Amino acid sequence: MATVHQGHVLIHEANIYNIQGDYHDHRETHEHREPIYYAEPQSMFNSSTASLPFVDPRYELRPSSPNPVLFPTESALSSQGQRPPLCVPRSFKRKRTTGGNPQPGEEPSPPAPPFEGAREVNIGVYNQIVHNHRCSSGKSSTTPWDRLLKHVVDGAVHDSDERSDAPKCHPKTRRAIQGEIRTWMGGEVVDEDPEKILWISGPAGTGKTAIVGTVADTCHADGSLAAAFFFSATSKSPLRKSKRGFITSLAYQLMHHEKIVGYREEVLAAIDNDPKIFDKSLGSQLESLILNPLRKVKGRSDPSQWPRGIVIDGVDECDVDMDAPSGSTESLASTISMEQVHEDIVSTLLKAAHDPAFPFRILVASRPEPAIRELLSSTSLNIVKKVFLDEKYNADADIALYLKAKFASLRLRYGLPKSWAGESVVSRLVRSASGQFVYVSTAMRFIQAPNTHPPDQLTLLLRWEDSQKGQCPLSQLDELYRKILFTSPNPVLAVTWIHAILELQSENNDNLTVVKAFLESRPGEAEYLLRNLSSLLCENEEGTAYRFFHKSLLDFLASETRCGDLYVSPETVTKFLQGRWHTILKSELPTPRMD
């Protein structure tokens, strides 16, 4: 139905859907080269060269009286196998012609001006017809570039806004391991030294993410970073804990390097040739979007001038993707284990490293999870260099440097005496950390928490440590988490909230106000419960989600043995969320009248 309003013509969206049904039948019964009729302001077509910027390049706009028409170009017809040209469905065209349907042997009647006297006419039916045509020929209505962008995980890129406050190495710390990585990454790959993958591993809290994040920034600054992907189990974006956008995000970043001449065009051509590549396995995506394009551009530029390093962090934090689209390799997520996900990622990286067309070196950081360890340790060829973060890299000295710098900053900010938090305090915290940077970073966040006095916080922290003397390093971290959680007025409810927040944010809810409103049984409850836990979680800078500082907290909360009386089971969390739904629905529904 068309509506004329003050000289404008509006074609309601319902009309677009109404014409879909008989479009294909119409195409199949008309073999003559019939034009598309397209209405626009008549003033646009005074010139014989009139054109529209949004018209598909496979069609040419020909000025004609009374209306301009669109014809498929000769090149489009020849390249598409002489498909019948795009044309207007009968049901729509019949309403716009004056002579009725043509009889056998007669030419179709010319269309009458459909909106005579109207101004600024814009019929949106054209785009829907193009969509139908492309769907019938297996092509998508969007460009390859647009389709690729939909599968890029923005937050996983090293310099994304989501990672703006990600952990980085403090100046003058972790120099030995950073130097080793940079030396390896800048070296040439020769037969005597075929190692194309460097695996940084170590227990939770040893600073792996901070190290590779700092290396990525350094490589980006000097132009040697080709691509990066940072998985994260604590991100509000489900895609950062999924393998779904892994290869596509790497390919997207490689496309931005002008020195890899021709790569961008080859990737876009591959997507245009196979629009469903995004639903295929990682191995297939690697072949189509990275390896095969690299083979095709061989000889167009000098690989020695390309950026050399690809950085992958947190492979162990990638989980089963329960939200994979139907038809994709992960749509059967219930039958896939986390170990299989890890195997898929590592196997894909090994496949790339083995291929002669792949000139890059891959830095991988993860915990030594079984599937990852077995694949990277048992590979038949010696292409993996392994580095385990242990005493060899003197983490204690780096932790001491970090603590001294932080305490000096607090003394300056609060006007504290030079004797406060001296060498003896630093030594105690270093011993308690036992090489775990996550311990001292959590401790420092507790000491300088908002609305607190650092000397009081430090005294409380040291008192907790005295009660844990002689315990193993993991117990020290667990006890620190327990003590902080018990500063909440209702620790068990606070833990329940933490689980619920993780559940809600995993549903890609990026509205913190909605999350709070859902969880709160009374106004201000979020501030009441979580205010003292700012060293464990806080609102991000945009105020759109809660940010968890380290995955080791989630590991702690998931273990009944480690949590003790703070443990909250998944069943309890589910009941809590169901209860909140029931309460909200009950309060929103009108009370039934009793007549």
Spell out the domain ranges in the chain.
2-141, 148-390, 395-484, 491-587
| pLDDT average, residue stretch 400-404 | 92
C-alpha torsion angle, residues 574, 576, 577, 578 (rounded to 10): 80
Fold for domain 148-390? Rossmann fold (3.40.50)
- Spatial neighbors of 296 by CB under 8 A, at least 6 apart, are 262, 266
| pLDDT average, residue stretch 429-451 | 86
> What mean pLDDT, rounded, does the chain reach?
76
The C-alpha angle with vertex 123 and arms to 117 and 128, in degrees rounded to 5, equals 165
Nearest to 383 by CA among 354, 413, 414: 354
| pLDDT at residue number 207 | 86
Sorting pLDDT into bands at 50, 70 and 90, what band is 215?
Answer: very high
| pLDDT at residue number 509 | 58
Least confident of 122-126, 506-510, 519-523, 545-549: 122-126
Helix-helix angle 551-558:491-506, to 10 degrees = 120
| pLDDT at residue number 120 | 41
Q: Answer yes or no: pTM beyond 0.75.
A: no
How far is residue 527 from each of residues 488, 519, 539, measured CA to CA in Å? 10, 12, 11
| pLDDT at residue number 550 | 77
pLDDT surpasses 60 at 228: yes
Q: How far apart are CA 536 and CA 448, in angstroms?
A: 12
The secondary structure of 548-584 as a DSSP string is ES-HHHHHHHH-HHHHGGG---HHHHHHHHHHHHHHH
How far is residue 420 from each of residues 195, 277, 318, 445, measured CA to CA in Å? 48, 60, 42, 17
Cα torsion 162, 166, 171, 172: sign: negative
Would you say 203 and 433 are in contact if contact means Cβ atoms under 8 Å apart?
Answer: no
| pLDDT at residue number 71 | 53
Q: What is the pLDDT of residues 44-93, one digit of tens each?
A: 334 444 444 444 555 555 555 444 455 555 555 555 444 434 333 333 33
Long-range contact pairs involving 534-538 (C-beta distance under 8 Å, separation at least 24): 534/445, 534/449, 534/450, 535/442, 535/445, 535/446, 535/449, 535/484, 536/442, 536/481, 536/484, 536/485, 537/498, 537/501
Least confident of 122-136, 513-527, 546-560: 122-136
- Spatial neighbors of 595 by CB under 8 A, at least 6 apart, are none
Would you say 512 and 546 are in contact if contact means Cβ atoms under 8 Å apart?
Answer: yes
